[in-house]
Amino acid sequence: MALTQLAHSASAILPIVLPSLAAIFVCALIQQLFFSSNPLSKVPTVGDEYGGYEKKRQAYLTRAKDLYVEGYTK
């Protein structure tokens, strides 16, 4: 008897609880996606002044130590 009453009360509360939990989850997801900053955007990069991929590669092949020192000081 007590088990059926518990099941009945749980089935009465379930339509209220599940949408509330879903709304909280969606709000948290939206907050994470749109309002948090990307931590990788603050990482300094080296060689942006060279332009394309091939120019950066050539600069690295010719003077890698200078690029390393420049990146270390940023």
pTM score of the predicted model: 0.44
pLDDT for residue 29: 93
CA nearest to 72, candidates 49, 51, 45: 45
Q: Which of 42, 58, 59, 55 is nearest to 70 (CA)?
A: 59
- Whole-number percent of the chain with pLDDT over 90: 23
Summary mean pLDDT of the chain: 85
pLDDT at 25: 96
Query: Residue ranges per domain, the chain?
Result: 1-36, 39-74
For residue 25, report the phi and psi dihedrals to the nearest 5 degrees.
-65, -45
Q: How much is the pLDDT for 26?
A: 96
Confidence of residue 22 (pLDDT cuts 50, 70, 90): very high
Q: Is 42 exposed, middle or buried (0-12, 13-18, 19+ CB in 10 A)?
A: exposed
